[in-house]
Amino acid sequence: MTIAVRIDRNGGPEELQLVDVQVGEPGPGEIRIRHKAVGLNFIDTYQRSGLYKLPMPLTLGMEGAGIVEAVGAGVTHLAPGDRAAYAGQPPGSYSEARVMPAQNVCRLPDAISFETGAAMMLKGLTAQYLLKRTRPVEGLEPGDFVLFHAAAGGVGLIACQWARVLGLRLIGTAGSEAKCRLALANGAEFAINYATEDFAARVKEITGGEGVKVVYDSVGKDTWDKSLDCLRPFGLMVSFGNASGPAPEFSPSILGAKGSLYVTRQTLFSHISSRERTQAMADDLFDVVTSGKVKIHIDQRYPLVQVQQAHRDLEARKTTGCTILTL
């Protein structure tokens, strides 16, 4: 038997319960992994609350790192004893051990710790596809302005650093002066406290009235409308989360009136839909982390037994950088 965190119905953090579960042998295309650390992400709260509907009972968690204990038939890129990390579906990483599909599991370089591996896979791969695969129709070149909301969060701090590596001029937003300072310390050229400033007006001021080529938005409802006003003609609005609630409905005619804008809703799991693409994106992430150009900030650690408090703190926006659950 092993311990896992399960919910039997949607609701608040109080629904997260520790249970004993039986972990069997991996089938074809699967592995069994024993976790050393597990990542915490906003998508976990969406699944817990019911914003994203999934069958019950449900073990949460979309990323983790540990040791491969066994592999099923057809798995050739991993072997028992390998250090490994992953971001992928189905959920289930809030556990001491699990059986899962091998497709999105990657060997973890020796230079990267288990804690860093658990913290960076979902958030780092998200930053990778946003900055390198989700680009405006006119492209992104060094010197271009981009706007990144929640710049002091797990994805945000990675994106601030990676954007600097790519030569992009990242304007970050955050909800406090302390978080703005953190974004600036990690590569954002400008940081706007959207709790005290009109971020759309400030973006126009920074860009000399032109606006940015792309907005990366994981906040949703609270930032959506003004984000459209931050874009230059033919700019791209990228939605990849709903921290404040789902983005409001809008008429496509608004996009024309605001400069023939583009809108896309992205999810990591479309980008890692094949073994080859997952590995290529992970290799890019591993390279930029092991080079020291991007550092993974683990600002909160909670024992697995304190998972309810971890969810409360995340939803209250008390966290910065990455958060992990330790085992």
- Per-residue model confidence (pLDDT) at position 34: 98
- The answer to whether the beta carbons of residues 121 and 39 sit under 8 Å apart is yes
Q: Which residue's structure tokens are 């992009």?
A: 168
- The answer to whether the beta carbons of residues 27 and 57 sit under 8 Å apart is no
Q: Which residue's structure tokens are 């009972």?
A: 57
Average pLDDT of 216-236?
Answer: 95
Asked whether the predicted pLDDT for residue 232 surpasses 90, the reply is yes
pLDDT band, residue 250 (cuts 50/70/90): confident
Q: Which residue's structure tokens are 């930029």?
A: 288
Rg (CA), the chain: 20
Asked whether the predicted pLDDT for residue 246 surpasses 90, the reply is no
All domains in the chain, ordered by first residue: 2-122+269-326 (3.90.180.10), 135-265 (3.40.50.720)
Q: Which string of DSSP letters, residue by residue, matches 196-222?
A: TS-HHHHHHHHTTT--EEEEEESS-TT
Report phi then psi at 201, rounded to 5. Answer: -65, -40
Cα 40 versus chain centre, distance: 9
Burial of 223 (0-12, 13-18, 19+ CB in 10 A): buried
pLDDT over 90 percentage in the chain: 94
- Per-residue model confidence (pLDDT) at position 170: 98
Q: Which residue's structure tokens are 């968690």?
A: 61
Neighbours of 178 (CB within 10 A): 11
pLDDT tens-digit series, residues 95-116: 999 999 999 999 999 999 999 9
pLDDT tens-digit series, residues 54-96: 999 999 999 999 999 999 999 999 999 999 999 999 999 999 9
- Per-residue model confidence (pLDDT) at position 244: 81
* Residue type for position 288: V
Asked whether the predicted pLDDT for residue 31 surpasses 90, the reply is yes
Asked whether the predicted pLDDT for residue 247 surpasses 90, the reply is no
Report phi then psi at 319, rounded to 5. Answer: -100, 155
Two structure tokens written together for 24: 């069997």
Average pLDDT over all residues of the chain = 96
- Per-residue model confidence (pLDDT) at position 220: 83
pLDDT band, residue 224 (cuts 50/70/90): very high
pLDDT tens-digit series, residues 264-291: 999 999 999 999 999 999 999 999 999 9
pLDDT tens-digit series, residues 187-223: 999 999 999 999 999 999 999 999 999 999 999 889 9
